[in-house]
Amino acid sequence: MQNAKDSFYMALRMRLAAINPNRTILLRGALRPGIFVEEAEAPYAQLPNDVFVLRWLAMGIEVNLPATMAAQECEVIYQTCGTEAFGGLDRGRQLSEMDEELVEMLQPFQTPKMNYAMQPAAAMLTQVFWDEPQFAPVQAQRDRITRSAKMVIYSYQEQGE
């Protein structure tokens, strides 16, 4: 499932860079598109604002098909305090902008499966595909508002995976 997870993340990362090149994050000394995988970074006491955080959850396998299919739930978490220019009073507007970016990043609901364990990345034989996102209600905590969306990522297992 690692190739599918990597492919999903890289597809969203490239799509975000095209949708909003100004949404960035400085991670390990490199300026990157504002999306990262929680399990691949150092732990945060508080998740950063104005970026998308991918969190991998439950996993399942279906073996009663011609090829084994793996599925893993992904939660995308994002939050904002608004902008300094508006004293944070635009945080609802900023969260709505991130909602729209996430919806746009997820379409189309598929991407080629790649093996990123090698350089350059190698194309595999199948696709990675996912469900429509299920958005959770907004949560408010002091000056910050947060939302998450969950979707299930599917991938057929290929030889050697």
Q: What is the pLDDT of residues 53-78, one digit of tens each?
A: 999 999 999 988 888 999 999 999 99
Q: What CATH number does the domain containing 27 carry?
A: 3.30.2000.30
Residue 88, pLDDT score: 67
DSSP string, 16-68: HHHH-TT-EEEETTEEEESEEEGGGS---SSPPTTSEEEEEEEEEEE-SSSS-
Asked if residue 150 belongs to a domain, the reply is: yes
Residue given tokens 């959850």 in the structure block = 57
pLDDT digits (tens, 9 = 90+) for 30-45: 999 999 999 999 888 8
Q: Which residues does residue 147 pair with via DSSP β-bridges, in sequence order? A: 78
The torsion region of residue 66 among left (phi > 0), alpha (psi -120 to 50) and beta comes to alpha
In a domain, 89, yes or no: yes
CA distances from 19 to 42, 54, 94, 116 (A): 27, 18, 15, 23
CA distance 59 to 96: 29
Residue 113 lies in a domain: yes
Q: Tell me if 117 is assigned to some domain.
A: yes
* Four-CA torsion 20, 25, 31, 32, nearest 10 degrees: -50
* 161 falls within a domain: no
Which one, of 55, 49, 54, 130, lies nearest residue 97 by Cα?
A: 49
Number of structural domains, the chain? 1
**Does residue 83 belong to any structural domain of this protein?**
yes
Query: Does residue 72 form part of some domain?
Result: yes
Query: Residue 74 in contact with residue 8, Cβ under 8 Å?
Result: yes
Give the structural domain span for 141: 2-156
pLDDT in tens, 10-33: 999 999 999 999 999 998 899 999
